[in-house]
Amino acid sequence: MIRIVIVDDHPAVRAGLETVLRGEPGMVPVGSVSDVTDLWPTLYRTKPDMVLLDYHLPDTDGLAVCRQIKRQLMAPSVLIYTAYAGSALSIPATVAGADGLVGKGVPAAELYDVIRRVAKGERVIAPIERELLDDAGLRIELEDLPVMGMLLDETTEADMLDVLGIDAEELDRRVERILQRLSIEVPRFAP
């Protein structure tokens, strides 16, 4: 049984996901929250296998939340669920340590499939196109290039620290900087 926590700021999406996940054998929604402050207690209480995380949250960037989740001990898998699924998000999602990236427009069957593959430990992110990689390379700092390369290549953190000769904090800082440079414009408005 795959136990899933849903993070999305829109009630319609949360309700839809809960309905859909509950109806499928082998997976169950164990919690659904609208923002990050509610997320942590829910994670500690339910110990889910997976977090289905909206990319576009009202106050924070979904990828920043993803990094925070993945930093936990025994972290659940994180599947980014986004209305901006295009391949443009592939690189930032991988850098942030997400296990999967799926668009909000996909039919339920495909969502089930992605959830199952991620639960098995697979990384389900669309292959990164050459142009996107070139573009990302131009947008980030030169010294961050090896960090991004290794992250995309799924190098473990220990190996990265070893190769780069930096400490964990410095690595953290650099990853953050990469994500900032690669952030994608989404319509935002604070009413």
Contacts of 31 (CB under 8 A, 6+ apart): 5, 6, 42, 45, 46, 48
Question: Is position 107 an interface residue for another protein (rule: CB under 8 A)?
Answer: yes
33 strand-pairing partners? 7
Out of 2, 5, 17, 43, name the contact with another protein by CB under 8 A.
Answer: 17
Binding-site size, another protein (CB under 8 A): 22
CA distances from 60 to 8, 11, 80, 168, 174 (A): 12, 17, 14, 23, 19
Q: Does 127 contact another protein by CB under 8 A?
A: no
By CB under 8 A, tell whether 109 contacts another protein: yes
| Measured CA angle at 70 (ends 64, 71), to 5 deg | 95
Minimum separation from the CB atom of position 185 to another protein (A): 11
Position of tokens 């953190």? 157
Closest contact distance (angstroms) between CB of 94 and another protein is: 23
Query: Interface residues with another protein (CB under 8 A)?
Result: 10, 12-13, 15-17, 19-20, 23-24, 83, 104-105, 107-109, 111, 186-189, 191
